[in-house]
Amino acid sequence: AQSVSQHNHHVILSEAASLELGCNYSYGGTVNLFWYVQYPGQHLQLLLKYFSGDPLVKGIKGFEAEFIKSKFSFNLRKPSVQWSDTAEYFCAVNFPGSSNTGKLIFGQGTTLQVKP
């Protein structure tokens, strides 16, 4: 069965530290990949997405992610976090052309706490 896993459930960083959140999925076919962010009290917002092309994608607020097909991974990175990055981060995968077409499968989420 297709699944998505996020390795870190709770991450605490100081401001200016670098961030990397892991995301792996299980499926050998075509995937569309997403990172969503949920700031406290707000709704899920799209950070970035990968459909095809350059596997290194840049999103809003200085975030980027790299799709490594051989590792079934789509890790999220930011070189220097800010206190305002405190939020919950979700990796999500869509499997076009499969029995789960149209169904976003989410990881469990990672809570990021940035200390000022």
Partner 1 sequence: EAGVVQSPRYKIIEKKQPVAFWCNPISGHNTLYWYLQNLGQGPELLIRYENEEAVDDSQLPKDRFSAERLKGVDSTLKIQPAELGDSAVYLCASSLGPEGTQYFGPGTRLLVL
d(CA 38, CA 85): 10
Rule CB under 8 A: say whether 52 interacts with partner 1.
no
Query: Smallest distance, Å, CB 35 to partner 1?
Result: 12
Q: What values do phi and psi take at 83, rounded to 5?
A: -55, -35
d(CA 96, CA 34): 13
Which of 2, 8, 32, 73 binds partner 1 (CB under 8 A)? It is: 32
Binding mask 63-102 for partner 1 (x = CB under 8 A): ---------------------------x-x-x-x----xx
User: Strand ranges (DSSP E) for 31-72?
Assistant: 32-38, 45-50, 56-58, 64-68
Which of 13, 22, 49, 77 binds partner 1 (CB under 8 A)? It is: 49
d(CA 32, CA 9): 23
Give me the residues that bind partner 1 (CB under 8 A), please: 4, 32, 34, 36, 42-46, 49, 90, 92, 94, 96, 101-104, 106-109
